[in-house]
Amino acid sequence: MTRIGITQRCVDDDRTGERRWALDSRWWAFLTACGVVAVPLPNDAAAAVHATHELNLDGFLFTGGGDLGGDQPERDLTERTLLALAMEQDLPVLGVCRGMELIADAFGGWLRPVAGHVGTRHRITSAEGERVVNSYHDLAVDGLPAALVPTAWCGDVVEAVRHRDARVEGIMWHPEREPAPDPRDVLLVHRLFERVRR
């Protein structure tokens, strides 16, 4: 079975003063439907790389939550390090929402504020047609780097990308937040992670 590393958001607990790492529990139902085993990775770049090698992980999922360049610098560094490792070793990467923003930024793109995309549902268009997805982002990819190709849009907002040469993709919606796994999202995960080392 495919094993991937999944990154976590940083959460500060005011009561204890602890800096915690967290994942939406809905990820497990979605990834189980995809036939993927997810291994939560620490927001410590060296430890995450060590775990990747020791556990022979097959790729990475960069989750959403929080702004890029905000109050999660250790997460930014960890995901950038894992993306570089994935490029070196031809490992697949899926970036979700903030994860897609990080991918775009890492390849030389930039972001801009966008209105009307937080806590809503909207229609996107792709080569597969139209569908309605959830939306929780207040930033959009503005300058798309040459390495990335847009694959879905909501008006003039890029909602999905893929790398021209590597197995790296990003989507701005949250597949784990749907009431049931959408077959199109499950297919995306299957397609991206199907060529693994096992």
Structural domain contains residue 198: no
Active-site amino acid positions: 97, 174, 176
* Residue 89: inside a domain: yes
Q: Is 130 inside a domain boundary?
A: yes
Residues of the chain with pLDDT under 50: 197-198
Residue 25 falls within a domain, yes or no? yes
CA distance 13 to 50: 27
Number of domains in the chain: 1
Structural domain harbouring 178: 2-193
46-53 own/partner pairs: CB under 8 Å, 24+ apart: 48/5, 48/7, 48/78, 48/81, 48/82, 49/81, 49/82, 49/85, 51/5, 52/5, 52/82, 52/85
Residues 14, 195: Cα–Cα separation, whole Å: 43
Asked if 128 and 160 touch (Cβ cutoff 8 Å), the reply is no
**What percent of the chain stands above pLDDT 70?**
98
CATH code of the domain in which 22 resides: 3.40.50.880
Q: Which tokens belong to 40?
A: 């939560």
CB atoms within 10 A of CB 21: 18
Helix axes 98-106, 73-89, angle to 10 degrees: 60
Please count the other Cβ atoms lying within 10 Å of the Cβ belonging to residue 179.
6
- What is residue 198's predicted lDDT score, i.e. its pLDDT? 45
How far is 153 from 81, CA to CA, in rounded Å? 28
Classify residue 12: in a domain, yes or no: yes
- Identify whether 157 is part of a domain: yes
Q: Which of 175, 172, 140 is nearest to 156 (CA)?
A: 140
Share of the chain above pLDDT 90, in %: 93
Rounded-to-integer distance, Cα 71 and Cα 136, Å: 18
**pLDDT, tens digit (0-9, with 9 covering 90-100), for 89-126:** 999 999 999 999 999 999 999 999 999 999 999 999 99
Question: Measured between alpha carbons, how far is residue 42 from residues 5, 174, 186, 197 in Å?
Answer: 10, 21, 25, 23
pTM for the predicted model, two decimal places: 0.96
**Could you tell me where the DSSP H helices lie in 23-121?**
26-33, 45-54, 73-89, 98-106
